[in-house]
Amino acid sequence: MTEDLLTQYGYLFLGSRLKRLAERLQADVVRVSQRNGLDLQPGHYTLLATIAEGGPKSIGALAQSLGLSQPAITKKASRLSELQLVEVTGSGEDGRRRIVALTEKGMDAMRLSRATVWLPVDAAVRQVVMSLSGPLLDQLSQLEQSLEEKSLADRAEEFSQQQTSA
């Protein structure tokens, strides 16, 4: 068996290894969302949550809050607008300033997400990371091994089933 190149090169390819792990985790969150009737990408949740918690915000304020570029926020907001989860309108004082607000459908999606996705995913992530110890690269290996044994989506599903039967 060939050793994983990203693991073999340790800190040199740390960013690539973290990106691979992030993509794996996000794919599992998509599975959990889809199981619960939600057509949302993990990256959408941060924007939706920011608006749900703080009310309508400009593209610039969202970019600043999330530490992302304005073009990235504009792209996410456009996708969420296509899904009818947010409404993007021009500001009264400056037509170039775009305000993003949740629609009723967006508020419903947030309620459903909090109830059926966020809690199980949070519990699954906590379960995976609670036993990690040692240097960072060792922790990454432990995390990857744990996810090989049972995916985050499967852990979230188990949590949901336990909550339902409790």
What pLDDT digit, counting tens, does each position of 75-110 carry?
A: 999 999 999 999 999 876 666 789 999 999 999 999
pLDDT at 1 over 60: no
- pLDDT band (50, 70, 90) for residue 164: confident
**Three-state SS at 37:** coil
Mean residue pLDDT of the chain comes to 93
Residue 90: per-residue pLDDT: 86
| 37-57 average pLDDT score | 93
DSSP letter string over 44-104? HHHHHHHHHHH--EEHHHHHHHHT--HHHHHHHHHHHHHTTSEEEEE-SS-TTSEEEEE-H
Could you tell me how many residues make up the chain?
166
29-38, 84-93, 100-109, 122-131: segment of lowest average pLDDT: 84-93
pLDDT of residue 2: 65
* Res 149 pLDDT > 80: yes
Give the rounded percent of residues in the chain with a pLDDT score beyond 70: 96
Instruction: Say what the pLDDT of residue 96 is.
Output: 75
> Number of folded domains in the chain?
1
How far is 21 from 100, CA to CA, in rounded Å? Answer: 30
Whether residue 157 is predicted with pLDDT greater than 90 in this model: the reply is yes
Nearest to 33 by CA among 124, 151, 153, 125: 153
pLDDT value at position 138?
Answer: 94
- pLDDT above 80 for 14: yes
Q: Sheet harboring 57-58: ordered strands across?
A: 57-58, 98-102, 86-90
CATH number of the CATH domain containing 76: 1.10.10.10
Residue 12 structural domain:
5-165
* Residue located via tokens 């109830």: 115
Sign of the Cα torsion 95, 96, 100, 104 reads positive
Give CA separation, 2 vs 9, 23, 36, 56, 117, in Å. Answer: 13, 22, 38, 51, 36
